[in-house]
Structure 1
C-alpha cells in the first residue's frame, strides 16, 4: 500500500474465534486508527485492537434497524481522506455476502486505494466445525453458496434449479424463510429425506447445531429454538458430521470408499 494515498482495508474477521484470523488481518487490526465493524464480529476480535483505536459500529442485521450502506461508504471515505488508517471489519469474508464488492466500487470511485484481506467464511467454517466438508466427491460434484435473504422486490434464488443441480447447498441467512425455501426445493424435486444441518453462531461459545432432514428442517429450527446467525447445509455431505446428536427422522447412511 502507498502511504501517501488514502487507503481502506476490507478485512474478514472470520466466523468468530479470533484464532481463525489470518496473520495479515491481525496486523491490519493492530495498525488501525479507526475500525468500522459489523454486528457479527466477535467481541474477542475487537479486543485485539489497540486501546486508542476508534470503533464505529455500522452493523446491518435483517429485521433490525441497520446502518444505511451509502452512509458506510461516506464514512469510510471521510475517515480515509482524513489520513486515518481505516479498517472495514466484516464477519466472515468481505466478498461472501458481505457487500464488499459494493464498498470497493464506492471507494475506488472516490479515489481511495483498497486492500481486501480475505477471511474464513462461515459457509465453510460452520459446517467444518461439526465435520461436514462442503465439497466431497463421494457426495456431490460441487457446492453452491446461496443467500436465503432478499430485499423486497428482489428475485429469489432459483431453488428448483438448485434442487436439480446435484450440488451440496450452503445457505446463508436462510432461517427466516426456511419454510419457503424447503417448499421450493421439494417442489423442484429434491428428496424430502435429504439430510440437512443447521449450525448457529459457529466458533463461538454460543454455537448450536442440529441435524435433521429437508422436510423436518422448519420444525427442527422451531423446536430447537435456533436463531440467527446460522448456516444451513443441505445434501448428503451432512452424513459426514461428527459428534452431533441425530434428530428423529434421519438415518445416516454409510459412505463407501472410492
Structure 2
C-alpha cells in the first residue's frame, strides 16, 4: 500500500545541536525523505531515519543548489513517490524561512502538511550572549525585521523601527548595515548600543559590540560577516552589566 504523501516543515533551531525540539527529533526519525538547508547543523542528520533519503537543497555564499520553485516541485514529487517528506530548515521556518510558501504549494498538490516550530535565531542568538530582547525599564517590545526584501532592498520597516523605543533585531542585514546605521543616526540615536553576532550559538560564534556611531568600525576590526544578526537597543548593555556583576561577586569571594 502506498504511503500518504505528507510534508512536515521542521525548525532546526539557531545552530547549537541541542536547541532542536524533541518533537523535531521524533519527526526526523519518521521521515522517508529529508530536504535540508545550509544553516542546519550537520550533526542533526544523525537523528534522521537511516533508511531515509537525504537531499541538500541549501545555498552557500549566494550559490543556489536548487531554486525555490525546484524545491517546491521536489517536495511534491518525493511526497508522492516516497511518502513523508521532512523539510528541515534553520531557526524557525515561519520567520523569514519560506516554510509557509512550501506548505501552501504542497497542500495545493495533494500533500498533507504539518509544522514543527523551531527556536528562532532572532531570539536565541542574542540570548546566548546574555542580551534580552525585552527588559523592564529598558525595552517594552521588539521588532524582528529582514534586512533584505524580495526586491533585495532594505525593508521600509527599519525606518519605522528606528523611531521607536523597541529593541530592533535585523536578520540578513549585514549587506545593508550602512543604510541601517544611517536611519538610526537620522533619529538622533548615534549612541544607541549595537551588537552583531555571527554564527550565533555555534563554536564559530563571533561578536562585535559598539554603538550606531562605531559599529561599522567594529565590524571591520572583527571581520564580521553573514550569517549574522544585528541587535540595536539599550538591552545590549545588559551583557556588560551582567559581566560586571559577576566580576564583583568573584572579587568579593577572593577578598
Fold shared, TM-score > 0.5 on shorter chain = yes
Contact map agreement 1:146 1:157 (CA 8 A) in 2: no
Instruction: Give runs of aligned pairs for residues 160-239 of structure 1, distance below 5 A.
Output: 160-187=159-186, 189-239=187-237
* Unaligned stretches of 5+ residues in structure 2: 245-255
Contact map agreement 2:78 2:85 (CA 8 A) in 1: yes
Whichever structure has more helix as a proportion of its residues is 2
String of CA shifts for 1:20-61, please: whole Å, max 9, x gaps. 111100001112121100100011112222333221111145
Instruction: Give runs of aligned pairs for residues 1-258 of structure 1, distance below 5 A.
Output: 5-60=4-59, 63-152=62-151, 156-187=155-186, 189-242=187-240
Q: What do you get for the CA RMSD once the two structures are aligned?
A: 2.2
Q: 1:208 to 1:154 in 2, by over 3 A?
A: closer
Compare 82-91 and 121-130 and name the one that shifted more: 82-91
Moved over 4 A (4+): 242-246
Scaled by the length of structure 2, the TM-score of the pair is 0.88
* Unaligned stretches of 5+ residues in structure 1: 247-258
